[in-house]
Structure 1
Amino acid sequence: MLSLPLIHGRFPVGVTTFVTPVRPSRLVGSAKLKSNSADHALQLEEVAFTAYYPADTSYNPSKGVDWLFRPLGASLLGLSSYSGISTWLLWPVVYFFGSLIKVPAYRNAPLLHPEKTKGGLEKQWPLVIFSHGLGGSRTAYSQFCARLAASGKVVLALEHRDGTGMACTPRSWGVDRGTAHRTIVYLREADVFWENGGPPKDHPMPWRGEQLAFRHHEIHVAYEAFQKFVTGAQIEIDTIDGDPFDKASWSSLATSGDSIIKHHEEIILAGHSFGGATALSLLATKPVENYQRIPISKVVVLDPWLEPLPTPGPVPYVPAKQSHEDPKCAEALMQALLDGTVNGSSNGSIPKLPQDPPQLFVINSETFTIWKDHFARLQEIVATWEPQGRRIATLIGSKHISFSDFSVLPILHKNHDLSIFDTICRLSLAFLHDRLDEALKEEDSTTGMNIEIVGTKPDGKPKRKLVGNIGHVIVS
């Protein structure tokens, strides 16, 4: 079996993909498909997410989960649409890796009861919600999600069906339940259109804006469905392939009488690239109607792509009594804007709010850090969320794909790719375990931010790079 790297951690990892219907289905945004003008581009009919979790392997579950979406022909079309590379050039790679590569985890294994762990010290598994980036999938970040799971967490990796994933097949939940009635592959803005005056004007990137709104719905549906599922409430939920799984293990209780999954508080939100933008957007936006606020306490953002987000901001959303909607806060903000000073400066930075937002930690690639304007905006955003701490880490030599499984594919990866990925996981876990400052002090590879010019880009602009050894960490 050609496999991704073995998963290191305290616990073996199980993988189960769940689906739940959305009743009634919803249309999000107003974009329509050019391929069929009668179809809305964003139809919310079913939500899917892959759970990575500590597994009970006492029943000898089978090991090895398909890494690429089936059928491989759909993955091929989606990857071609995303990359702009001909299917004729891509098909040998897609079929080779898609046919052979497995996620080294236990398929549909029961969830391990935390009190059955060595020493019985665990009481509940923390819950993580993960959002993938453009061209990603619910398994494209299996290494990162599995590392979190191996540390003792339940991770729900969304399969976003907004046209940002390689491919997916929403199913019918009617008479022909379980039958896929359409396949969605990666959608470019050129694949959609708007009637009646064109795209909406209230967003810097209209198509991405509507996809963000769709993702908000998916995250809320997944969270609420999962809560009902683990508490034994009535909910339509199934595995994506219809295979059996141990339902009882998911609704088990601790001796205290609580669920073995901490799903009602201290939720962790994580995402990469557009998934990072999704996390920030979700937390900066009032919950979608009919949904309750998700009690998120920590956020891990991996190389966030900020351009789809409106400016200024984003800033953490708080209820009216604590936000700009509060008369006193609104009055102070208006005066600051009239004076041309915000946060005591004249640089137009984002105003601080009288609130306690979720703790935020950002890990950036070198590619995005030397993107000067983008990094300046990131620093401004993080200063609003974490005014007291340094919460951006950049890894020298890392690229935008360094956070996904694509960076550690067998045969293709280099030794430093594995080292960089390991550092990403270690820093993320240190943050989640409240020992980030300690971990950074222990790092013998931290360095300062120094940039040098190493040439000229094709557009005539200077080509820049960070000074230091590959894998070294810059904290800012």
Structure 2
Amino acid sequence: MEAKHQNSQRRRPGKSPPKAFREHLFHSLLNYAGPYSVGIMEIEVPVREPRTFSRIKHNHMHALRMDTVLFSIYYPCDPSSYAQSRGKRPSKATWLPRPRTLTSKGYAKFFSMPQLPVTAYIAATSMFTKLPAFRNAKLAGDRPGDCAGAASRSSLGAHSQDTLTGSGDKPKFPVIFFSHGSGGSRTCYSIVYGELAGNGFIIVAVEHRDGSGARSYVNIPPSGELADGLKINNTNPKRFYKVDYIFPPDNALDTSPNNARGVDTELRHAQIEMRMSEIGEAYYVLELLNNGQGDLVYKNNLRKKGNAGSSSKGLEVINWSDCDGRLLLSNVTVMGHPFGGATTVEIVRQNDRFPYIGQGIFRDAWGQATPKVGEVTHQSLRKPLLAINSEAFMHWPESFRRICDIGKEARNGGALCWVLTIKGSTHLSQTNFAMLYPHWMSFFMKTMVNPKRAVALTVNSSLEFLSRVLPPALTLGNAWVNEGILKTKVLIAGELPREHQPDGKLIASRLRIFNELRIRTVNWVRREPKESVATYIKGRPLIGLVNFPLGSEVWMHLSPDEENRQYPIRLSQEV
């Protein structure tokens, strides 16, 4: 108890930029709770080798083409240096990627809904929502509070000191790559990115242009050279192209659990290959930053004033020398959500191609789209893995069975592996949508977990996992909360709960609440606090309080602490 109290004292949140008037008037995102302040920068650069993936074409051109790589970096920052260098209100990036109106139309197309009402609703609620991060701020030069003092570092020996600190005894930060899911972008999981960055990680949120996102804009490099041997004349006024979501021909619902035709493996495996290549290109850019070549990144950056999807701020006023030797580019973590989870599994498998990847975390992985060993690579999982499921996805038998098989694969390869489910959560509980639209999440998806708590459980279990699998030199003196989530007792076979399991056509998309009308009516009569409308279904915290008993907020399906337990797949097979 005393240790927990001391830990809580070390978690004073880092400073956040002030909210604008429109953010108080409309929707806004919560400030991050980590001890570091959070900075953000956006980078788009030409790839070293433009190329295409698969034979799939759209409008007589290859649909999967990699000409540039786009990503946002969320990182621990020094907010005081930001204020001194600008002398005005800090700049913040918008939650909805620019151009915001056209991006809203891309979401309408992705959801197969009319463009006008979707765009109008987003404009009226969250068009001007900003990320609570300092744009282009200086990389943090100190550890917050009493983290990792010099005396503690010296106790680890000379080699570990080199790992912990860069030049001038400034801290070096471990790196996490994040791969978004279908319809996602580099910003839609920013609540998770920011929490991890606030705890001392550098998060590289890649925006995939493989036709799995709702909409993304690709700026054409000055050379005009594109994949497929195409070349755009410099006098051509259109210096960009857009990439919308690709619906598989004659199988548009291949993401649906009830699709009899299954997943379009030709498209999905090609997309995973392109996603892995984009992450490889992003890693190369980080190497440039870490090796003192930030000016080259600045010179080649295409996200600058006048270009599609860009802010006028670009990468201005960044002191690139501050990044020299400050990024830990070994033992890198890869993390992903649904389709990004499938990407994560494949990256962790391919050790020869990604030797710098040390472990993986996937959330609600799209099990059916995750290649089996031999379909893309013959290498099997031999690196630590953490799988975090939503309760809604847990009830998708085929996908959950595949996730359990991946867990077996990792354990058979000698790797530490945990598979858990957050009670009362649905698929979007781990995204910004849960924070911005909690009422819609409650009414339409029947989400029952407090959205703030769902994010905390995701982040805290990830930090607990990383504290176990990363070398001690990288975790010494951290201020991470350790709630003992990974110590939750493993369920036995056949013990999966069915209380909130929906019928077949709603599997994976929502939960089921018995006596819902009565529960909501009682809540309305009691005038529960506004925050509780979407999160406290029965007029009291169903789950979500920190002082709940261990195991009351998650189900554990696989843990190396209880290796002899069976996988809970019997119930899934019976469904």
Measured after TM superposition, the shift of residue 435 of structure 1 is 8.4
Please name the residue that 1:405 is paired with. 432
SS of equivalent residue, structure 1 residue 391: strand
Please name the residue that 2:386 is paired with. 361
Please name the residue that 2:331 is paired with. 266
**Mapping of residues 184-263 of structure 1, within 5 Å:** 184-190=243-249, 205-233=265-293, 234=296, 237-238=300-301, 240-242=303-305, 243-249=314-320, 251-253=322-324, 259-263=325-329
Residue-by-residue CA offset, 1:170-199 (whole Å, 9 max, x unaligned): 112216599742122222223999xxxxxx
Residue identity in the other structure for 1:51: I
**Mapping of residues 106-255 of structure 1, within 5 Å:** 106-114=134-142, 121=149, 123=165, 124-174=172-222, 180-190=239-249, 205-233=265-293, 234=296, 237-238=300-301, 240-242=303-305, 243-249=314-320, 251-253=322-324
Looking at structure 1, the residues matched to 469 and 331 of structure 2 have their Cα atoms a distance apart, in angstroms, of 17
Q: 1:101 aligns with which of 96, 117, 129?
A: 129
Alignment RMSD (CA, Å): 3.5
Residue-by-residue CA offset, 1:305-356 (whole Å, 9 max, x unaligned): 02123335789865xxxxxxxxxxxxxxxxxxxxxxxxxxxxxxxxxx6xx8
Looking at structure 2, the residues matched to 246 and 273 of structure 1 have their Cα atoms a distance apart, in angstroms, of 36
Residue identity in the other structure for 1:40: H
Measured after TM superposition, the shift of residue 113 of structure 1 is 2.3
**Mapping of residues 269-348 of structure 1, within 5 Å:** 269-285=334-350, 293-311=354-372
Change (3 A) 1:416 1:215: same
Q: Is the 8 A contact 1:267 1:294 kept in 2?
A: no
Residue-by-residue CA offset, 1:230-261 (whole Å, 9 max, x unaligned): 212455542623524454346545xxxxx111
Task: Please tell me whether residue 56 in structure 1 is matched to residue 78 in structure 2.
Answer: yes
Looking at structure 2, the residues matched to 443 and 280 of structure 1 have their Cα atoms a distance apart, in angstroms, of 20
SS of equivalent residue, structure 1 residue 228: helix
Measured after TM superposition, the shift of residue 73 of structure 1 is 2.8
Q: Which runs of 5+ in 1 are unaligned?
A: 194-202, 254-258, 319-352
Q: 2:453 aligns with which of 411, 414, 419?
A: 419
Residue-by-residue CA offset, 1:261-283 (whole Å, 9 max, x unaligned): 101x1101101000000111223
Looking at structure 1, the residues matched to 452 and 430 of structure 2 have their Cα atoms a distance apart, in angstroms, of 10
Residue identity in the other structure for 1:216: M
Residue identity in the other structure for 1:397: G
Looking at structure 2, the residues matched to 11 and 163 of structure 1 have their Cα atoms a distance apart, in angstroms, of 35
SS of equivalent residue, structure 1 residue 104: coil
Residue identity in the other structure for 2:178: F
Task: Please tell me whether residue 372 in structure 1 is matched to residue 397 in structure 2.
Answer: yes
Measured after TM superposition, the shift of residue 453 of structure 1 is 5.8
Q: Is the 8 A contact 1:32 1:192 kept in 2?
A: no
SS of equivalent residue, structure 1 residue 307: helix
Residue identity in the other structure for 2:69: V
Measured after TM superposition, the shift of residue 365 of structure 1 is 0.6
Measured after TM superposition, the shift of residue 96 of structure 1 is 2.3
Q: Is the 8 A contact 1:396 1:466 kept in 2?
A: no
**Structure showing the higher helix proportion among its residues:** 2
Measured after TM superposition, the shift of residue 456 of structure 1 is 7.1
Q: Percentage identity across aligned positions?
A: 25
Give TM-score scaled by structure 2 length: 0.65
Q: Is the 8 A contact 1:17 1:49 kept in 2?
A: yes
Please name the residue that 1:334 is paired with. none
Give TM-score scaled by structure 1 length: 0.77
Q: Which runs of 5+ in 2 are unaligned?
A: 1-19, 150-163, 166-171, 224-233, 253-262, 306-313, 443-448, 471-480, 515-540, 545-552, 558-575
Measured after TM superposition, the shift of residue 217 of structure 1 is 1.1
Q: How many aligned residue pairs are there?
A: 416
SS of equivalent residue, structure 2 residue 127: helix
Looking at structure 2, the residues matched to 314 and 421 of structure 1 have their Cα atoms a distance apart, in angstroms, of 33
Change (3 A) 1:371 1:93: same
Between 1:414-423 and 1:204-213, the stretch displaced more is 414-423
Residue identity in the other structure for 1:218: E
Please name the residue that 2:562 is paired with. none
**Structure showing the higher strand proportion among its residues:** 1
Q: 1:457 aligns with which of 503, 507, 512?
A: 503
Please name the residue that 2:530 is paired with. none
Please name the residue that 1:92 is paired with. 120
Looking at structure 1, the residues matched to 397 and 251 of structure 2 have their Cα atoms a distance apart, in angstroms, of 31
Q: 1:29 aligns with which of 47, 54, 67?
A: 54
Looking at structure 2, the residues matched to 364 and 454 of structure 1 have their Cα atoms a distance apart, in angstroms, of 15
Measured after TM superposition, the shift of residue 45 of structure 1 is 0.7
SS of equivalent residue, structure 2 residue 288: helix
Looking at structure 1, the residues matched to 37 and 343 of structure 2 have their Cα atoms a distance apart, in angstroms, of 29
